[in-house]
Chain A
Amino acid sequence: MTNGYWRRAFPIYVMIVPGLLFFIVFKYVPMFGIAVAFMDYSPFKGVFGSPWVGLEHFQRLFAERTFWTLLRNTLMLNLLDIVFYFPAPILVALLLNEVRLAWFKRTVQTVLYAPNFISWVVIVGITVQLFATGSGAINELLASWDFDRIELMTDPRYFRWVWLVQNIWQGAGWGAIIFLAALASVDPTLYEAAEMDGANRWRRLWHITLPALRGAIVILFILRLGHIMDLGFEHVFLLQNPMNQDVSEVFETFIYKVGLNQGDYSFSTAVGLFKSVVGLTMVLLANALAKRAGEEGVF
């Protein structure tokens, strides 16, 4: 009965309209800018006046000597991130969930969430200071115990792990918030009932807690995959130095060196487009898989 449907649906559509307008005006209208990836763009000639160069920028990108290095580095970091960093906030949320003491839980939460506000400049700066080969506190300690000094910042072997640990440090507490919110919606009586029925901690975890988080985890995971080619520029840039650049050079830093400073806007748009296409493919795949497994996808 279409009439009934519209009566029900009309207010819903009205609710959606303001947000939708935003997306149309500020996200879709500017999308004409993607065409810049196929042009030799000059801000003075504008999008409609700049000459068309077709796939030239992409050819340049793929012909780039370091392209595969960039790809490898980007994927390696993102892989590490997905395997180790992604579960960290979930773990934190689960741990916090097991805590009974209200004041302890609240305090720990606030402290764990604080690192999110420390900028990368400071985090990297402190790390450099602590691990300075000559005079860093940690290395001094190691030397006094007769261990070899660790060249944390310049040895390429450490780069990915330093990046990862810093990420976890900064983001685990903050990321846990979403999961905590999901857990807060769980009816407490479910736990009580389960206990009455003799379920131990692990079974309660498996049957109540985790299912409550499942929806959020799936959505976040799919979205995470969409960003498989993206890395925060500032963090990598600060950790990068000529000694570790073989593993630390990623697309974002590459563009920075090659392009934007000189105003090579078109090239960086092309690289961005490339990354977006890969990300979209991943999202489509992951979403289809999720739906196949009976989960709600992102669309």
Chain B
Amino acid sequence: MKKILFATTAFCLTVVAATGCARNEAGSGSDASSSAGGGPGDHAEKIKIEMMAASWTGGGWPDNNHPVIQYINEKFNVDLQIQWVPNANFAEKLNVVAASGKMPDAIRLDSGMFLKWLNEGVFLDLEPYLSQYPRLQNVAKPEEWALLNPQGKIYGIPIYETAQNNVYVRADWLESLGIPMPNPDEFTIDKFYEIAKAFTTQDPDKNGKDDTFGFSALGNSLQLGDLQLLAAFGLANGWKEENGKLIPMETQTDEWIRFLTFMRKAYEEGVLDKDFITNTNFNTKYAEGKVGFAMDMHYQFSQQTNQQLQSITPNARFVELAPPIGPDGSRGTRTPTSGMLKLVLNKNIDEKKRQRMLEMFDWWVSPEGEDIIKNGIEGVHYRKKPDGTYEMTEALKAEGEGRQSLLWNWMLRGNTNTFNIYKWSDPKWAQGMEQSIENAKKYPYKNASDGYLIASETFTKQGKALSDKFLQSVLEIIAGRKPVESIRDTIDEWKKNGGDKIIEEVNAAYQAKSNS
């Protein structure tokens, strides 16, 4: 017994010592102080820069020795320390970091957090310095720089976003049923339903089973994941502007009635996936091959879903179409407001650090920066083939395409539409990607309240609860448990229980901004 105790203690002490040593070694390991050239400015001093961003599926890089980070370190003589925090816990981590006073030098924030801390005096005002960094300044339009900021100040670098989603259709099903691909300009909502119904009833995958349906939806959001359908019926993407005022979708009674009648019919006839209520994301549904119409972005389909489908059915493929045109001619596809996401800098950085960081970001968003940060390092992530084109290295293929561009996707990027188009990407495919973005631009459908909604205190306190109640009604109506007309009561309830106040507060913020 004593021997075991002694052995265990000795073991533990060794482990603790080893852990401690490992930490110290690792800490001093990244001291690559080669004074690399490149860029104007004095790089004599190595500066440590700490940045924090949310990480998504897949997580961040396991350490700060990633070749891209090393490249940046060398180029600018910095020591980049990136902290990746899983998005689900990002708010909590931000809170403790802020409370302990150890804010990183740069953080990528969403609009909610940004507005919450805007007036705490912790962000660096970039306005005085932007003119010195033209490439950085051009990463966004002036209104995007100004978005969410108080007058005359600029507290963060806007992250570029653009519309990319569209409606996609199973081209192979169209072929097997002898339906011609609809012309985008004639693709009405009735045509959409007609084809969707055919998908449901005519067994397009020819497997003898009655297991396909026209389209699906999500049950966890008021927009049901089918923004294109909402747009066709005139419902706002959240809020829309009308006669100088902002009105929310929750009050558009007539549009709701038309929309819900449509959806209810679809549910009854099986055209709408009956299990949509428990859907929280579409990816599996699409990949299972039971859905005819889908709405998402090009990368998703061309790189992932189609691959998954083709492992089941060789010529299955989703092909881009267009959002359906509603009875009054409206159509739209999800259009984010660029500039809602911000990369903020800590106010308390000294002049040298600030200069170095801005210099770094200036390069970062430029084509040269994009080349490295998005594609990775030649030789490590990709290599040149004898014919001049490029290909991924085995290492990158094994880890997954896109794992090298985390800084581009999750931290800061330039304003090119070359999302996920890499040096080694097939040029035709790349063209298709960029074309799809051009296509999506044709059908703008913005949330007019972006930037104002968060100003509403009632929304912050009750918004989600109110919209959940609304959603419950919507789902019950679609599933046939309540009559369509009951939406009038739901709308009244929404307005009474806080909706009216929200409208008031949002419009107050909107007026204030328009007048300034």
Specify which of A45, A65, A134 is in contact with B273 (CB 8 Å cutoff): A134
CB 8 Å contact bits of A67-104 with B (1 = contact, 0 = none): 00000000000000000000000000000000000000
By a CB distance below 8 angstroms, the chain A residues around B42 are: none
- Chain B 447-476 interface residues, beta-carbon cutoff 8 Å to A: 460-462, 464-465, 468-469, 471-472, 475-476
Find out whether the CB atom of A43 lies under 8 angstroms from the CB atom of B99: yes
Q: Are B99 and A245 in contact (CB under 8 A)?
A: no
Q: Is the CB of B278 within 8 A of A154?
A: yes
Q: When the two chains form their complex, are residues A257 and B464 in contact, meaning their CB atoms are under 8 A apart?
A: yes
**Does B300 sit within 8 A of A, measured CB to CB?**
no
User: In the complex the two chains form, is B275's CB within 8 Å of A263's CB?
Assistant: no
Whether the Cβ atoms of A263 and B464 lie closer than 8 Å is no
Contact A134 B275, beta carbon cutoff 8 Å: yes
CB of A132 closer than 8 Å to a CB of B: yes
Contact A258 B462 (CB under 8 A): yes
The answer to whether A242 touches B116, judged by C-beta atoms less than 8 angstroms apart, is no
Indicate if the CB atoms of A43 and B98 lie closer than 8 Å: yes
**In whole angstroms, how far apart are the Cα atoms of A260 and B471 in the complex?**
22
A132→B274 CA distance, assembly (Å)? 9
A242, B117: Cβ atoms under 8 Å? Answer: no
Verify B278–A44 contact, CB threshold 8 A.
no
Q: Contacts A135-B275, A242-B219, A263-B91 given: A44-B465 contact, CB under 8 Å?
A: no
A135: which B residues are within 8 A, CB to CB?
Answer: 211, 275, 290
Shortest CB–CB separation between residue B145 and chain A, in angstroms?
24
Residues of A within 8 A of B475 (CB): 242-243
Inter-chain contact A241/B278, CB cutoff 8 Å: yes
Per the 8 Å Cβ criterion, residues 90-139 of A in contact with B are 128, 132-136
Q: Does B130 contact A (CB under 8 A)?
A: no
- Contact status of A262 and B472, CB under 8 A, knowing A44-B120, A153-B278: no
Identify which of A42, A133, A245, A261 contacts B472 (C-beta below 8 A).
Answer: A245
Partner of B275, one of A46, A132, A257: A132
Q: Are A242 and B460 in contact (CB under 8 A)?
A: no
Q: If the complex has contacts A257-B465, A260-B92, are A243 and B274 also in contact, measured as CB distance less than 8 A?
A: no
B295-332 toward A: CB 8 Å interface, digit per residue (1/0)? 00000000000000000000000000000000000000
- Inter-chain contacts of A263 with B (CB < 8 A): 91, 94-95, 112-113, 116
Instruction: Give CA–CA (A132, B278) in the complex, Å.
Output: 8
Q: Which residue of A lies closest to B103 (CB)?
A: A44
Closest residue of chain A to B461, judged by CB? A258
Per-residue A-contact encoding for B77-112, CB less than 8 Å = 1, 0 else: 000000000000001101110110000000000001
What distance in Å separates the Cβ of A64 from its nearest Cβ neighbour in chain B? 9
Taking the closest CB of chain B, its distance from the CB of A249, in whole angstroms, is 8
- CB atoms of B278 and A128 under 8 A apart: yes
Which parts of B341-370 form the interface with A (CB within 8 Å)? none
Contact string against A for B residues 273-292, beta-carbon threshold 8 Å, 1 for contact and 0 otherwise: 11101100000000000100
A65 B278 Cβ-Cβ under 8 A: no
Chain A residues, Cβ within 8 Å of B462: 258
On whether A66 and B465 interact (CB within 8 A), knowing A43-B99, A242-B471, the answer reads yes
Report the nearest A residue to B276, measured CB to CB: A134
Most chain A beta-carbon neighbours within 10 Å: one of B113, B122, B275, B475 = B275
Q: Cα distance A258–B462 when bound, in Å?
A: 7
Known: A134-B274, A153-B278, A154-B278. A262 touches B468 (CB 8 A): no
User: How distant is the Cα of A254 from the Cα of B465 in the complex, in angstroms?
Assistant: 8
Tell me whether B497 is interfacial, beta carbon within 8 Å: yes
Does B35 sit at the interface, judged by CB under 8 A? no
CB contacts (< 8 Å) of A246 on chain B: these are 472
Q: A66 to chain B: which residues have CB within 8 Å? A: 465
In the complex, what residues of B have CB within 8 A of residue A243's CB? 219, 277, 472, 475-476, 479
In Å, the complex CA distance between A296 and B112 comes to 51
Closest residue of chain B to A239 (Cβ to Cβ) is B278
Measured CB to CB, the nearest residue on chain B to A265 is B95
What is the CB-to-nearest-CB distance from B449 to chain A, in angstroms, rounded to a whole number? 16
Q: Which residues of A contact B96 (CB under 8 A)?
A: 43
CA distance in complex: A135, B284 (Å) = 13
Please, how many angstroms separate the alpha-carbon atoms of A65 and B493 in the complex?
Answer: 12
Q: Give min CB distance, B132 to chain A, whole Å.
A: 29
B220 at the binding interface (Cβ < 8 Å): yes
Interface residues of A in 206-262 (CB under 8 A from B): 241-243, 245-246, 254, 257-258, 260-262
Interface core residue of A128, A134, A264 (most chain B CB under 10 Å): A134
Contact A264 to B99, CB < 8 A, known contacts A134-B275, A243-B476, A257-B465: no
A139 nearest CB neighbor, chain B only: B275
Chain A's nearest CB lies how many Å from the CB of B264?
15
Q: Is the CB of A42 within 8 A of B460?
A: no
A136 CA to B275 CA, complexed, in Å: 9
How many angstroms from the CA of A258 to the CA of B465 in the assembled complex?
8
Which residues of the partner chain B approach A45 to less than 8 Å between Cβ atoms?
120
Please name all residues of chain B whose beta carbon is closer than 8 Å to the beta carbon of A60 when the two chains form the complex: 461
In the complex, A260 Cα to B121 Cα: how many Å? 21
CA distance A65 to B468 in the complex (A): 14
Interface contact B112-A261, CB-CB below 8 Å:
yes
**A275 nearest CB across to chain B (Å):** 19
Nearest Cβ in chain B — how far from A135, in angstroms?
A: 7
CB-defined contacts of A43 to chain B, threshold 8 Å: 95-96, 98-99
Residues from chain B with Cβ under 8 Å of A262 in the complex: 91, 112, 116, 460
> Complex: how many Å from CA A42 to CA B340?
22
Give the residues in chain B near A42, CB-CB below 8 Å: 120
Residues of B participating in the A interface, judged by any CB pair closer than 8 Å: 91-92, 94-96, 98-99, 112-113, 116-117, 120-122, 211, 219-220, 273-275, 277-278, 290, 460-462, 464-465, 468-469, 471-472, 475-476, 479, 497
Q: Jot down 17 A-B pairs with beta carbons below 8 A, ordered by A.
A: A42-B120, A43-B98, A44-B99, A44-B122, A65-B497, A132-B278, A133-B275, A241-B220, A241-B278, A242-B220, A242-B472, A242-B475, A243-B479, A245-B468, A258-B465, A260-B92, A262-B91
Chain A residues within CB distance 8 Å of chain B: 42-46, 60, 65-66, 128, 132-136, 153-154, 241-243, 245-246, 254, 257-258, 260-265
Q: Which 10 A-B pairs have the closest CB atoms?
A: A43-B98, A43-B99, A257-B464, A242-B472, A242-B471, A44-B120, A134-B274, A134-B275, A132-B275, A153-B278
